């Protein structure tokens, strides 16, 4: 195994978070990840358990296209490759209207809801409800109650609340079918025997709301859209918590929609039928009067056959009479229509139209007016009187009505002129029959009126039958293609998505926290940081001491085989490779508190155990930390030697009482000018004297980045050991340390990492001893209790994977 890192001329690139760091982060915190995933999935599961599942049911119907005129814009669009969706869009809007939904709610009694508690959420009941509650009076206030079936004949009524008031605390035992009188009206609870046995132990919550509120709720559950771009198939969707209720809503909605279409189509035919019936009654009465008049005339004048008496006149005047009959018939019908048109209350009534009589253009105008009026009423019913389309139709209707009145007046005037001309011709003809008895002349007038009334009566009867047939065969222009269908799996909430999201969040939360801690931590985390930021050789790593460690502790001894003790032995071996002839070894650091005194003291003991004479000098003349920690006498020390108060080195040396080959020299009395004393010639002289007595001279110096003393002391050192304590020194100091190394400010500058987390090696920093101590000393000595503890299977596999990433 390579023990030292080759010195490079250029500093390495500063390292960041790598894939290896993330992988080690995952395996080092696997238990937190498992706990986080378990908690998040549990929370998601509880949330899903509290949510009522929603199911989707769909129905598909075909909207048949109505007959279109030749100049219809929709036909032009279709010829250009498009499709006119305006008509279908209107039908889609009507399908989703609140008016239709209110009718559906009223038919299905959806203003009354039933639900039971199913684990953590409420389960809606409809077709499978074991009870039915019928409210006999109109809605006055919201009602809620809880019903618990006792047996097939009785139930318990609990927590009755009316108008959102306080719930009743009393319980009532009532028989099914009895009428219960409350402040909200009468109600009757009936049982559904086929479902009742399954709910004997459950409380059924029953609620009643007003129809408009219920219509708004269920209206929000309905959606409709075209099934495709080039089709008139409409798909209606209903999303509800109860599948049977969703199917019932769709079926009833289609039925109500079909009935609405048929009702709209039959309104013209119904209005025409009413007009025909009224005219038939009037003509029948008039025809009876004419026939009675003719009978009385014949009886008074004793005329048996008028036809025989006037056969010659009739043969000459037959053609004119036919023409008069036809003209008078049309004139009478036109006047009747004009009276009906003039006597309508307002301008929002349909105009009766009797087809086949009169001018064809006039009939077409009446049909167009009626169709436009029906379209206006349908739009006004769904969108209100203030809709711009309704206002436009009102303007168009007013214009058409004016034109229609003008056309009707023109038509009647034309008929009148024709009648006047025909009567003049008739008068001229009658002048030739002055010899005909006055009685016969009167009889002819009566017969003529009779013929007119008979023709009109027969015509109206035929039209009434035709209109009745149209009413009988009217059907809606829709056809159901797919009855309500859908999957048994709920569409909401999305369980897989929620659980997968919870799993992902559970994975992300601990990793994010650890990554934030990792990025927020600017301290040196281990060997990797030193290698990434500097090119200095690392002499060794000192594992962190578990628990609180006394500053005076000596962790190395002849019989100790702990990882810390072995790390100091390895440090001694590595020094022989880095600087085999080094005799003066200086220890320094960046800031106080990095453990350089602890390392220097234990390193000195390690060298003494190798049968070497070692002396440790406290070179911190300002704070004298080592001297105070080890309770050394400061009467004689480095400062007194440098100031010339001592002439013999023997006066400075104090036994360590740790090892017989290990001595110490205190800092002495704190001088006012420590830097100037260290720059004197007596300091190198002291070192030379000590070299004669000792194999190794250890200098415990002040931090190099705090005062200039370390740079002054460094001139006599053969090897400089820079102590860096992990999780203490800020990484931003490392570039400065690299600069010291590149500028050769200290001889053989090497780094010792102190406080390494050997067991966890968290975040991938401290892997230098991952195999040096984690394995080598584990089975080499087997004395440490921590190394005797077996690792679990997961940690073993994690360790192997981490080592693969490390290469």
Name the more confident of 404 and 116.
116
| 697/691 Cα distance (integer angstroms) | 7
pLDDT confidence of residue 414:
83
Give the mean model confidence (pLDDT) for residues 390-415. Answer: 80
pLDDT confidence of residue 36:
92
| 347/540 Cα distance (integer angstroms) | 106
Name the more confident of 768 and 558.
558
For 572-603, what is the HEC assignment?
Answer: HHHHHHHCCCCCEEEEEECCCCCCHHHHHHHH
What 3-state class would DSSP assign to 640?
Answer: helix
Work out the pLDDT band at 2, boundaries 50, 70, 90: very low
Distance of CA 166 to the CA centre of its chain: 36
Q: What is the pLDDT of residues 297-324, one digit of tens each?
A: 777 766 666 555 556 555 666 777 777 7
Work out the pLDDT band at 360, boundaries 50, 70, 90: confident
Please report, for the chain, how many H helices and E strands are present, in that order.
25, 21
Name the more confident of 584 and 393.
584
Work out the pLDDT band at 624, boundaries 50, 70, 90: confident
Closest by Cα among 181, 178, 182 to 131: 178
Crossing angle of the two packed helices 243-301 and 98-108, in degrees rounded to 10? 100
pLDDT confidence of residue 253:
95
Give the mean model confidence (pLDDT) for residues 616-623. Answer: 91
Q: What is the pLDDT of residues 725-784, one digit of tens each?
A: 998 888 888 999 999 899 998 999 999 999 887 654 444 444 333 333 333 333 333 334
Give the mean model confidence (pLDDT) for residues 72-85. Answer: 42
The residue ranges of DSSP E strands in 630-675, in sequence order, are: 654-655, 662-665
Who contacts 427 (Cβ-Cβ below 8 Å, separation ≥6)? none
State the virtual CA torsion across 691, 693, 695, 700 in degrees, nearest 10: -70
The CA-atom distances, in angstroms, between 784 and each of 226, 775, 778 are: 78, 12, 8
Lowest-confidence pick of 386-400, 453-467, 487-501, 531-545: 386-400
Q: What is the pLDDT of residues 88-129, one digit of tens each?
A: 888 899 899 999 999 999 999 999 999 999 888 899 999 999
Q: Is the pLDDT of residue 28 over 60?
A: yes
Name the more confident of 501 and 4.
501
pLDDT confidence of residue 798:
52
Name the more confident of 284 and 473.
284
Name the more confident of 408 and 738.
738
* Token couple for 646: 């001592």
Q: Is the pLDDT of residue 271 over 80?
A: yes
Q: What is the pLDDT of residues 194-219, one digit of tens each?
A: 999 989 888 999 999 999 999 999 99
| 566/117 Cα distance (integer angstroms) | 67
Give the mean model confidence (pLDDT) for residues 333-353. Answer: 68
pLDDT confidence of residue 633:
80
Pairing of strands 654-655, 662-665: antiparallel
Give the mean model confidence (pLDDT) for residues 633-660. Answer: 89
Give the mean model confidence (pLDDT) for residues 643-655. Answer: 90
pLDDT confidence of residue 436:
56
Name the more confident of 627 and 144.
144
Q: What is the pLDDT of residues 494-519, one digit of tens each?
A: 889 999 999 999 999 988 888 888 77
Q: Is the pLDDT of residue 579 over 70?
A: yes
Closest by Cα among 637, 552, 655 to 602: 552
């Amino acid at each position: 195994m390579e023990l030292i890192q080759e010195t490079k001329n250029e500093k390495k690139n500063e390292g960041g978070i790598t894939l290896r760091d993330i992988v080690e982060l995952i395996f080092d915190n696997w238990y937190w990840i498992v706990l986080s995933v378990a908690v998040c999935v549990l929370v998601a599961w509880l949330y899903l358990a509290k949510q009522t599942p929603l199911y989707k049911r769909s129905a598909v119907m075909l909207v048949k296209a109505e007959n279109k005129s030749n100049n219809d814009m929709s036909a032009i669009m279709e010829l250009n490759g498009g499709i006119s969706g305006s008509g279908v869009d209107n039908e889609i809007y009507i399908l989703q209207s609140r008016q239709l939904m209110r009718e559906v709610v009223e038919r299905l009694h959806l203003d009354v809801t039933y639900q039971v508690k199913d684990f953590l959420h409420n389960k809606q009941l409809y077709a499978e409800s074991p009870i039915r509650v019928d409210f006999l009076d109109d809605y006055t206030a919201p009602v809620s109650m809880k019903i618990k079936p006792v047996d097939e004949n009785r139930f318990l009524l609990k927590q009755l609340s009316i108008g959102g008031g306080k719930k009743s605390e009393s319980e009532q035992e009532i028989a099914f079918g009895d009428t219960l009188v409350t402040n909200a009206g009468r109600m009757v609870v009936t049982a559904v025997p086929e479902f009742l046995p399954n709910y004997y132990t459950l409380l059924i919550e029953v609620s009643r709301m007003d129809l408009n509120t219920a219509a708004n709720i269920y209206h929000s559950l309905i959606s409709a859209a075209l099934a495709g771009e080039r089709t008139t198939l409409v798909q209606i969707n209903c999303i509800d918590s109860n599948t049977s209720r969703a199917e019932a809503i769709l079926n009833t909605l289609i039925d109500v929609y079909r009935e609405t279409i048929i009702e709209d189509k039959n309104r013209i035919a119904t209005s025409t039928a009413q007009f025909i019936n009224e005219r038939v009654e009037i003509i029948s009465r008039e025809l009876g009067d004419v026939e009675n008049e003719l009978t009385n005339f014949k009886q008074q004048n004793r005329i048996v056959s008028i036809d025989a008496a006037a056969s010659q006149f009739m043969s000459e005047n037959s053609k004119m009479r036919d023409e008069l009959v036809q003209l008078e018939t049309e004139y009478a019908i036109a006047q009747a229509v004009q009276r009906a048109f003039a006597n309508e209350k307002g301008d929002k009534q349909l105009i009766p139209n009797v087809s086949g009589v009169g001018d064809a253009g006039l009939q077409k105008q009446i049909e167009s007016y009626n169709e436009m009026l029906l379209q206006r009423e349908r739009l006004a019913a769904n969108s209100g009187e203030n809709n711009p389309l309704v206002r436009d139709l009102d303007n168009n209707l007013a214009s058409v009505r004016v034109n229609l009145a003008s056309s009707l007046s023109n038509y009647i005037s034309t008929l009148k002129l024709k009648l006047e001309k025909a009567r003049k011709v008739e008068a001229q003809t009658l002048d030739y029959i002055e010899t005909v008895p006055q009685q016969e002349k009167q009889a002819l007038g009566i017969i003529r009126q009779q013929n007119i009334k008979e023709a009109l009566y027969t015509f109206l009867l035929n039209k009434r039958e035709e209109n009745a047939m149209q009413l009988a065969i009217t059907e809606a222009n829709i056809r159901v293609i797919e009855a309500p269908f859908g999957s048994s799996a709920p569409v909401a909430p999305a369980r897989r998505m929620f659980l997968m999201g919870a799993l992902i969040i559970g994975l992300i939360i601990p990793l994010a926290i650890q990554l934030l801690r990792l990025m927020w931590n600017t301290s040196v985390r281990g060997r990797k940081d030193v290698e990434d930021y500097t090119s200095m050789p690392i002499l060794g790593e000192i594992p962190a001491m578990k628990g609180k460690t006394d500053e005076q502790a000596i962790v190395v001894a002849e019989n100790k085989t702990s990882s810390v003790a072995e790390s100091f032995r390895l440090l001694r071996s590595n020094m022989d490779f880095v600087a085999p002839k080094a005799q003066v070894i200086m220890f320094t650091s960046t800031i106080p508190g990095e453990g350089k005194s602890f390392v220097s003291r234990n390193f000195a003991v390690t060298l003494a155990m190798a049968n070497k004479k070692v002396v440790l000098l406290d070179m911190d003349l300002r704070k004298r930390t080592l001297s105070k920690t080890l309770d050394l006498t400061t009467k004689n020390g480095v400062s007194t030697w440098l100031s010339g108060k001592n002439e013999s080195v023997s006066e400075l040396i104090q036994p360590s009482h740790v090892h017989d080959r290990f001595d110490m020299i205190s800092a002495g009395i704190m001088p006012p000018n420590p830097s100037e004393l260290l720059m004197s010639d007596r300091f190198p002289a002291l070192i030379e004297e000590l070299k004669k007595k000792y194999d190794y001279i250890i200098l415990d110096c002040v931090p190099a980045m705090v005062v200039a003393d370390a740079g002054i002391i460094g001139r006599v050192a053969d090897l400089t050991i820079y102590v860096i304590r992990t999780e203490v020194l800020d990484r931003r100091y490392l570039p400065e340390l690299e600069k010291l190394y590149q500028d050769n400010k200290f001889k053989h500058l090497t780094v010792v990492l102190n406080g390494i987390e050997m067991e966890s090696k968290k975040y991938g920093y401290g892997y230098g001893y991952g195999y040096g101590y984690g394995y080598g000393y584990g089975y080499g000595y087997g004395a440490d209790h921590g190394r005797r503890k077996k690792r679990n299977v997961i940690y073993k596999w994690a360790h192997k994977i981490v080592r693969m990433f490390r290469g």
